[in-house]
Amino acid sequence: MGCGNTKSNLNFCASPIPDNTPPQPLYPEAMTLSPTPSPMGAELAGVLATAVDAENRVNDVLCGHLTTEMMSAQTPGGGMTVAQHLAHMAGSTKFWLSQLNEGVASPLPVLYDETQTDAFVAQDDPARAAAVMREVWTAALHTATTATAPGDLPHPSPAQFVLHMLGHTAYHRGQIALALKVSGFPLPDEDRMWGPMRGDA
């Protein structure tokens, strides 16, 4: 019996599988992974460390550009201010880290007034924002790369938690840029913002 278009140079035919023979996995080596929990491999840990280093450097560039006046710029539609975005970036990473290791996360600083339970009052010092985000990220990376299990995280692995947070903070940097632009403030230098992600020294 033919296999379809005989003009094609690609062979889409598969050898028939005898009855009662279960299909074999395409990548059998993937089935040999040890079920024993262990810290993530050195290669993955190295990639994440490079990504987090770039994250910290980008945040340093952003916060170095910001002024106290810029911290009150607001995302359109009644969104958060720049200060609130930064506080949320650090606070969310700290919160999810607490699901992995409460003891590590609990003493980390925040960028908002914790005594205000009915309002989101964010501090307006860009330099402190950069320092706090770096401290939180340092703790998150170290904890994730040495963890043997995801703890109470909903993520399937500590590495996925780090990837989630990297995507989350990138989104909020975009919101900060929008807030600055619509408020008439200059944006950070584009080459300096993208440089760390490209691996620039």
pLDDT digits (tens, 9 = 90+) for 38-94: 577 888 999 999 999 999 999 999 999 999 999 999 999 999 999 999 999 999 999
pTM of the model: 0.79
Phi, psi of 112 (to 5 degrees): -140, 165
- Answer whether residue 46 is part of any domain: yes
Greater model confidence, 30 or 24: 24
- DSSP structure string for 131-143: HHHHHHHHHHHHH
Residue 95 lies in a domain: yes
Helix and strand element counts for the chain (H, E): 6, 0
Split into its structural domains, the chain has a count of 1
CATH number of the domain that residue 135 is part of: 1.20.120.450
18 within some domain:
no
The domain in which residue 78 lies consists of: 40-198
Is residue 8 assigned to a domain? no
125 pLDDT band (50/70/90 cuts)? very high
What is residue 48's DSSP assignment? H
* 76 Cβ neighbours under 8 A, 6+ residues apart: 178, 179, 182
Please choose, from the candidates 199, 157, 164, the residue with its C-alpha nearest in 3D space to the C-alpha of residue 53.
199
Quick check: is 1 in a domain?
A: no
